[in-house]
Amino acid sequence: MRFQVPQFIETESKIIGPLTIKQFMYLAAGGILVFVLRYVFYNLFYWLLASAPIVFLAVALAFYRIDGIPLPRYMMLAVYFLTGPKKYIFKKGGGINGSEPILPGENINHGN
């Protein structure tokens, strides 16, 4: 009996047109905020001024990648790095002043 092996399991499914559900949610949240701001700011100039950063952030969260990592995940990793513990282990000739940071989950070679 033959079975079809699933392929491309690493890619997210395109649910709404060419967008994944996460991309659609980021864009929809940005659109809703811009829509609400239209009723907060009656002056067109102030509305455009207030909604420009929201639109920029929504589009960046939906589509921008840094080294192949989506921006929301990259931001989460940055917060974890800034708030998490850091281990400095001495390695002869490595890093600044002979030490280099070892991130959590990284293998530490206690040998040579």
- How many domains would you assign to the chain? 1
Domain presence at residue 5: no
Range of the domain at 69: 21-102
- Percentage above 70 pLDDT, the chain: 78
Residue 4 falls inside a structural domain: no
Identify the CA nearest to 52 among candidates 73, 75, 33: 33
DSSP code at position 89 = E
How much helix, strand and coil, in percent to the nearest 5, is found in the chain?
A: 45, 15, 40
pLDDT per residue over 81-108, tens digit each? 899 888 776 665 555 554 555 555 555 5
Is 67 part of any domain?
A: yes
Element (H, E) at 90: strand 87-90
- d(CA 72, CA 62) in angstroms, rounded, equals 8
pLDDT at 51: 96
Q: Which tens digit of pLDDT belongs to each residue from 20-47?
A: 899 999 999 999 999 999 999 989 999 9
Task: Give a yes or no: residue 93 inside a domain.
Answer: yes
Query: Does some domain include residue 109?
Result: no
Per-residue model confidence as pLDDT tens digits over 47-75: 999 999 999 999 999 999 998 899 999 99
Side-chain-facing half-sphere of 15: CA atoms under 13 Å: 7
Residue showing tokens 């909604």: 51
